[in-house]
Each structure stands twice: as C-alpha cells, then as structure tokens.
C-alpha cells in the first residue's frame, strides 16, 4: 500500500491506529480516510494498493529508483522501477553466488545418482557409501586369496560370489561411481562457462 495525498504518492507506512488486518474490507477503508478523526491528520490522505509495472529485469541490470504514478480511475499506484547497469564488482559477486548455488545443487544430484544403486552382472548392487566401503574390503580380500568366496547381500537378497566376481563387481561399481563424479565435473564446467541449464542437471548420469 502506498500513501496518496494531494495527488502525490509517497512510501509511508500505514499508521498503527488504522486497521491493518489485510481483509478486503480493511483495504477498502484505506482508500478514503475522510471518516477518521481529524486529530490524526489523515482525512485528506489514503493508502492505495500498488501494481508493479517495471517489466522483466534485463541482463546485467539491477533495480534502481522507482517512479510512483497514480491510476486515479482504478485507485491504484503504478510502480515503475528503473533499471541500471550493474558494476563489475556487483556482477562478479552475483556470478560467484550463482556458482555456489549451482555447485550445491549439482553435488546433491551427483550424490543421489552415486548412491542410487546400479545393476552389475545382473545383480542389483547397493551403492550407498557404507556398501561401497564393504565392497572395497571384499575386493581387497579377494585380491589376496584366490579361493575367496562370499555371500553378498544384494538388493534382492543374498548371492554367492567367487573372488573373481567380487573383483569384477567392485571394478564396475568403482567405474560407475567415478562416472557420477565425472558428470559432476562436466556440469561444474558448464556453470563456469555460463551454459548450465536446469535440464542438464537431470541428464548424462550413468545408470
């Protein structure tokens, strides 16, 4: 709401003694304050709703001073904000913030892909961090014991694996996890190049 008095619009807060409940009735009462006690000094004033008509902010622009224009017929204050060029320092700060936000989103998406599981040799393998560590340990044991065998708990239940199978699964899971990190690196490169899009965040992950 913007104060209007003597045909001039100014940004002044609505006085506390006026109803600020936000109901349609309360807002309507602010359009004509002739009903108020003269001692409050607002009988010739009103608070009109505002409508932003500034349009879309241009590239490398920031909002500057605003111009308040009265639409008397509708009793609405039209707000037009000027657009001014950002300084080099402001652009750098904005780009740095955007890069940090993207990095967080990309890392979260990589973690989701990395720990979402993968099917290797027909076996659904859990790829959460604890499972990765257990598989690494099993692969180490298989590498030093040619007769190594294990009952591995897959997503669908226990399966018997030879040492050779353990090594094969561990190798492919490692490749899968690395591919997830490779995709994260590619997306961070797109952020640096300014070509990142929301669609890219869901593309290119290994399965």
Flag whether 74 is in a domain: yes
- The answer to whether the pTM exceeds 0.75 is no
Structural domain of residue 69, as residue ranges? 2-85
Question: Could you tell me if 31 and 8 lie in one domain?
Answer: yes
Which of 54, 85, 116 delimits the end of a domain?
85
Flag whether 207 is in a domain: no
Question: Could you tell me if 61 and 123 lie in one domain?
Answer: no
Question: Could you tell me if 68 and 160 lie in one domain?
Answer: no
CA dihedral 86, 87, 92, 95 (to 10 degrees): 0
Q: Which among 170, 171, 182 is positioned nearest to 206, based on CA atoms?
A: 182
pLDDT tens over the chain, length 207 residues: 999 999 999 999 998 888 766 677 777 889 989 888 898 889 999 999 999 999 999 988 999 999 999 999 999 999 999 999 999 999 999 999 999 999 999 999 999 999 999 999 999 999 999 999 999 999 999 999 989 999 999 888 999 999 999 999 999 999 999 999 999 999 999 999 999 999 999 999 998
CA dihedral 142, 148, 153, 158 (to 10 degrees): 150
* 3-class DSSP assignment, residue 129: helix
Sheet holding 45-48, edge to edge: 8-10, 2-5, 45-48
Q: How many whole angstroms separate alpha carbon 185 and alpha carbon 177?
A: 13
């Amino acid at each position: 709401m913007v104060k209007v008095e003597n045909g001039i619009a100014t940004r002044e807060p609505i006085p506390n003694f006026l109803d600020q409940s936000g109901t349609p009735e309360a807002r309507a009462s602010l359009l004509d304050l002739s009903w108020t006690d003269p001692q409050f000094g607002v009988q010739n004033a009103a608070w009109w709703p505002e409508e932003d008509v500034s349009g879309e902010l241009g590239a490398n622009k920031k909002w500057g001073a605003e111009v308040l224009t009265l639409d008397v017929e509708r009793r609405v204050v039209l707000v037009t904000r000027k657009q001014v060029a950002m300084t080099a320092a402001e652009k750098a700060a904005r780009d740095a913030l955007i890069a940090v936000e993207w990095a967080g989103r990309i890392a979260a998406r990589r973690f989701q892909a990395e720990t979402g599981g993968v099917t290797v040799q027909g076996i659904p393998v859990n790829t959460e961090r604890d499972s990765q560590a257990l598989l690494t340990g099993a692969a180490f044991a298989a590498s030093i014991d040619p007769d190594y065998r294990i009952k591995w708990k897959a997503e669908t239940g226990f399966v018997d694996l030879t040492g050779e199978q353990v090594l094969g699964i561990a190798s492919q899971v490692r490749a899968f996890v690395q591919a997830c990190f490779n995709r994260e690196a590619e997306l961070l490169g797109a952020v640096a190049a300014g070509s990142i899009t929301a669609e890219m965040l869901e593309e290119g992950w290994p399965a």
